[in-house]
Amino acid sequence: MPPKNPRLAVDEKGSRSRSRSRSRSPGRKAKKVVVEAPPAASKVSALPPSLKQDVSTKKYQVKDNDILMLPSSDFQLLALLTVVAIGIRLFRIYQPTSVVFDEVHFGGFATKYIKGKFFMDVHPPLAKMLITLAGWLAGFDGSFDFKEIGKDYLGPGVPYVAMRMLPAVLGIMVVPIMFLTLKAAGCSTASAFLGAGFIIFENGLLTQSRLILLDSPLVSFTAATALAWTSFLNIHEQGISRAFSPNWWFWLTMTGLGLGATVSVKWVGLFTIAWVGSLTILQLWLLLGDTKNITPRLWFKHFFARVFCLIIVPVVFYMSMFVIHFMLLRNPGEGDGFMSSEFQATLNSKGMHSVPADVAFGSRVSIRHHNTQGGYLHSHNHMYPTGSKQQQITLYPHKDENNIWTVENQTNPVGGEGISGFDAISPPVWVEDGALIRLYHAPTDRRLHSHDVRPPVTEAEWQNEVSAYGYKGFEGDANDVFRVEIIKHLSEGSEAKRRLRTIQTKFKLVHTMTGCVLFSHKVKLPDWGYEQQEVTCAKGATLPNSVWYVEQNEHPQLGEDAERVNYRNPGFFGKFWELNKVMWRTNAGLVESHAWDSRPSSWPILKRGINFWGKEHRQVYLIGNPVIWWSSTAAIVIYAMFKAFAVLRWQRGYNDYSVNNFRRFDFEIGVAVLGWAFHYFPFYLMQRQLFLHHYFPALYFAIIALCQVFDFITARIATLKLREKPIAGWTLAVVFLAFSIAAFGLYAPLAYGNTWTKGECRRVKLFDSWDWDCNTFHNTYEEYNVIMSPNESAIKSSNPPLQASSSSSAPEEAVTNKPAEEPVVVKKDPIQAADAGEVVSSEERIEYRDQDGNLLDEEQVRALEGKVEFHTRYETRIRLLDEFGNEISEESAVPVADQGVAGPLVDGSNPETVLKGAEKDAQDEVRPRGVDVDTESREVVSESAASPASEGVNTETT
């Protein structure tokens, strides 16, 4: 119904007061519309009621679109559509038989869940846990690591099909959900049939639902939420008498559960919450204005019912997923470095016993960095290769005996007893704010040291090198002295603000000779520093990176009766809040460019897709069905044009909103377009990596809008004269769907990873921005029937395609398949060999491929010379040819051994070449530095992770 406004106030005759006060345009005929006012219940609807106008009586009747009351023919059609969806989604779900794109991450998460190793991911845990459950039920033990695209599943016996079945089943469920949603919105069966068919034959949704990915669960839960909300609106439109009925409560609660499930898969679910929330606010606003039927008490009842079902239920559901998440991930893992020390202490083997609270001179302490994932101040018996060439000081993420330092006064105790003299001082002398100290590294007999020398990596004028300097018996020098400055606002308790206390006191260490401050940041040292984190002494250092605290503390004078402290247990709520903050910061920080990313402006027009996988002359490339994609975008544009036209006419005083179909078209399709807008436009505000699959939830709402436009054209607008001919609507629906199926078939090989030919590929490649590589495929289908030898199959590279660096338009590296030695040729008598079907010769050739595995021609190679670095990868491929150059099958070829020739064709290649090639593939994976194979860096490995460099590392380090 139109908003409450004097311009839209309808009198009993249906004319508006504003129109009466305005003179009529000369070319505009007077038109009197006599329509009875709709029931009072419709005035309180947040959306226009699904009204059915009786033409004979000119009265409005409320239509109940309860999906549980559909005729049996609709359920039979729904069952048929679901069966078709099962066939389409599960067809050859076993291929590819190797890791595809982001299966690297989400399969890897299943491994970590089963092993209980904590990881940090930017997405909530629901879908990942469901995939893990599917794999675990199928017998997956977590022994496969999913580390690389193209890594084989069959050899290790990974139940990857069962893990892919979870997204596939959820993808299948979207089909009946779409059908029922359109029926709940009041659409005809033909329109609902069309919408379900669009979901079945949408290539992009198909591709995502056949792999171990999160987008199929996301779309499925988004669709379920839309169904529940539409069904709730249908009951709400029946009037206030239906409020608080069992069905009313059921659909409202299911909407809340759907919201919780959606946001528990990806934070894109927040957009679904915004969609439902905005419509809920509109409902409550209109209810508030119905003073005739809604009392304040009843209005608050509506308000609190929605608060409970649409806020409390989703929040509880979301938090419960993290309860399970924390229960499963009890052990330290690659992601715990992103969490606070308090969080890490809750993991097995990361916790510690309570330690003495006060730090005294002579205490053996470990000192942690407060900001960058809490690494330990560390040294080991390795020297800097440049600068002072003194012993390295680093930040190391694991507990280790080389993290232990003894706190000394600036002078040794009286009596010449050296470092051990502090142990005998009784009572011990506390280290207070402003104290001058030295830190003695007992494992190497050197002290923490700084001087006016540039660091080996960060060669900035405002940073000095920090090293370990001295030898056993050396009393040290002035460059070993640091001043303790307690940071009072970060320290806990009055005592911790006055003197050094374990865990509770946060402090800076100021070098007395140069005034610089002990500092660390996320810069990693090269291989000579074992990729551990750099420690420097910075002048004017920022506070977060120059803050430290003591974790371990031991002193002979501090016995069992000494006051002890430990990390505060954050509890579930503390861990939940901290993890979500880290997820948010990490998600926002994914701003680096990616080889296959795209921006939101390109999504509605399907400008480009994503290369998922390429191997054995096949390819999986995510691309949508252009017929469905562009038609749904056209529906959005049609509604936008209609809305602009309607507002313009409303401003000019026309009475269009008194027409039932006009009003319904505006509001019913407007709801779907609003859902599309909430799931699309927020991406323009994001600077992070974005990909085509981020558009899928918006695409779902666009398809709903398309089907509703179709429904109005074929079943509602009387002037088109199709409403009285249902067969016309069905015919148009079947024809429309047939075009979609034809387009689906053209691009299906990219979704399934099927065989294809270069010619067919090029014929359907409409735009250059559709950047899959047609050269990947064979020229004819017969070439796919050539059987490779077992050795060749074993040697074929399974490395993922390389990705281009964002800093250059040209690929950062290219790969060439180059032979290891001169071509080996085995010759026989040509005529005899041809008659016998024997192999006449073998040859080797060089192929140049880019970072995505695409074959480069000579012109492209010449263009890249001098711009990229070429790496060699040995790979053996077999083509069996007779004397006339014709390919022959392996079965018809006589083995070389039987020909009496001890040559390379016994195993398909020269044995030395095979050995070198296999070693090369196993050891020298080629990948540009700084470029990962993931799309969103969903699994985040701690930046503090480093290689061990100490002899005294514990089992955790190794």
- Comparing 709 with 588, the larger pLDDT belongs to 709
In the numeric block, the tokens 């192929």 are attached to 847
Asked if 395 contacts 402 with a C-beta cutoff of 8 angstroms, the reply is no
In-domain check, residue 342:
no
The candidate with the shortest Cα–Cα distance to 851, out of 865, 868, 866, is 868
In-domain check, residue 886:
no
Based on the domain organization, do 318 and 376 belong to the same domain? no
- Identify residue 914 by its one-letter amino acid code: V
The candidate with the shortest Cα–Cα distance to 614, out of 762, 386, 774, 444, is 774
Burial of 782 (0-12, 13-18, 19+ CB in 10 A): exposed
Q: Is the pLDDT of residue 120 over 90?
A: yes
**Euclidean distance between CA atoms 236 and 66, whole angstroms:** 11
Cα angle 600, 603, 605; round to 5: 130
Helices (H) then strands (E): counts for the chain? 24, 23
Q: Is the pLDDT of residue 579 over 90?
A: yes
Based on the domain organization, do 394 and 306 belong to the same domain? no
Based on the domain organization, do 542 and 398 belong to the same domain? yes
In-domain check, residue 202:
yes
Long-range pairs of 246-251 with CB within 8 A, sequence gap ≥ 24: 247/66, 249/305, 249/309
Based on the domain organization, do 311 and 368 belong to the same domain? no
Based on the domain organization, do 155 and 277 belong to the same domain? yes
So what's the pLDDT on residue 381? Answer: 94
Based on the domain organization, do 164 and 219 belong to the same domain? yes
Q: Is the pLDDT of residue 333 over 50?
A: yes
Based on the domain organization, do 270 and 369 belong to the same domain? no
So what's the pLDDT on residue 871? Answer: 60
Residues in the chain: 958
**Euclidean distance between CA atoms 138 and 133, whole angstroms:** 9
* Tally of CB atoms within 10 A around 913: 20
- First vs last Cα of the chain: how many Å apart? 69
Based on the domain organization, do 179 and 217 belong to the same domain? yes
In-domain check, residue 597:
no
Q: Is the pLDDT of residue 53 over 90?
A: no
- Comparing 422 with 519, the larger pLDDT belongs to 519
Per-residue model confidence as pLDDT tens digits over 885-929: 555 554 444 443 344 333 333 333 333 333 333 333 333 333 333
Based on the domain organization, do 502 and 390 belong to the same domain? yes
Structure confidence at residue 835 as a pLDDT band (50, 70, 90): very low
In the numeric block, the tokens 């016309």 are attached to 728
**Euclidean distance between CA atoms 957 and 397, whole angstroms:** 9
Q: Count of domains in the chain? A: 2
- Identify residue 844 by its one-letter amino acid code: E
**Euclidean distance between CA atoms 16 and 12, whole angstroms:** 10
Based on the domain organization, do 321 and 356 belong to the same domain? no
* Residue % of the chain over a pLDDT of 70: 76
Structure confidence at residue 261 as a pLDDT band (50, 70, 90): very high
pTM of the predicted structure, to 2 decimals: 0.76
In-domain check, residue 272:
yes
* Residue % of the chain over a pLDDT of 90: 65
**Euclidean distance between CA atoms 564 and 306, whole angstroms:** 49
Range name among 361-375, 479-493, 916-930 with the lowest pLDDT average: 916-930
In-domain check, residue 117:
yes
> In the listed set 524, 544, 567, which residue is the last one of a domain according to the structure?
567
CA–CA distance from 169 to each of 198, 588, 752, 834 (Å)? 17, 31, 16, 53
> What percent helix, strand, coil does the chain show, rounded to 5?
45, 15, 40
Based on the domain organization, do 321 and 389 belong to the same domain? no
Per-residue model confidence as pLDDT tens digits over 720-778: 888 888 899 999 999 999 999 999 999 999 999 999 999 999 999 999 999 999 999 99
Average pLDDT of span 394-402:
91
Average pLDDT of span 2-8:
39
- Residue 192 domain boundaries: 73-325+623-752
**Euclidean distance between CA atoms 825 and 905, whole angstroms:** 10
Across the chain, mean pLDDT equals: 81
In-domain check, residue 955:
no
**Euclidean distance between CA atoms 890 and 363, whole angstroms:** 75
> In the listed set 752, 767, 795, which residue is the last one of a domain according to the structure?
752
So what's the pLDDT on residue 856? Answer: 76
> In the listed set 752, 782, 803, which residue is the last one of a domain according to the structure?
752
Contact residues for 147 (Cβ-Cβ < 8 A; gap 6+): 104, 108
C-alpha neighbours within 13 Å on the C-beta side of residue 456:
23
Based on the domain organization, do 389 and 304 belong to the same domain? no
So what's the pLDDT on residue 787? Answer: 52
In-domain check, residue 948:
no
Q: Is the pLDDT of residue 876 over 90?
A: no
Asked if 272 contacts 222 with a C-beta cutoff of 8 angstroms, the reply is yes
Q: Is the pLDDT of residue 352 over 80?
A: yes
**Euclidean distance between CA atoms 243 and 859, whole angstroms:** 72
Average pLDDT of span 597-611:
94
- CATH code where residue 546 lies: 2.80.10.50
Q: Is the pLDDT of residue 362 over 60?
A: yes
